Chain A
Amino acid sequence: MEAQVPSLPPVQARKSLQASDRRSGYGLLSPAILVIAVVTLFPIVYSVFMSLNDIQLTTSGYKMSFIGLKNYGVLVNSGVFWHSVWFTVYYAIVTVIVELVLGMLIALAIQNVQRLQGVSIVVMLIPWSLITVISAQMWGYIYNGVYGVLNYIVTSLHIVSQPVTWLGTPVSAVISMMVADIWKTTPFVVIILVSGLQMIPKDYYEAAYIDGANKWEVFWNITFPLLRGSISLAALFRILQAFGVFDLPFVLTNGGPGNSTESLAMLGETSLFQNLHFGIGASIAVSTVILVLAVCLIFLSAFRSMVEGDAA
Chain B
Amino acid sequence: MSNKLKVSLSPHVHSGDSVRRNMDWVVVALLPAMLWSFYVFGLGAVIVTATSVASCIFFEWAINKFILRNSRTTISDGSAIVTGLLLAFNLPSNLPLYIIIIGALVAMGIGKMPFGGLGNNIFNPALVGRVFLLISFPVKMTTWPVPHQMTAYADAVTAATPLADLQQAGLGDLFFGNVGGSLGEVSVLLLLVGFVILLVAKVISWHIPVSILCSAFVFSVIFYVLQGKMPFADICLLSLKHLCAGGMMLGAIFMATDYVTSPMTHKGMVIYGLCIGFLVVCIRLFGSYPEGMSFAILIMNGFTPLINNACKPNRFAKEVKK
Q: Specify whether A and B are partners.
A: no
Binding site for A on B (CB under 8 A): none
Binding site for B on A (CB under 8 A): none
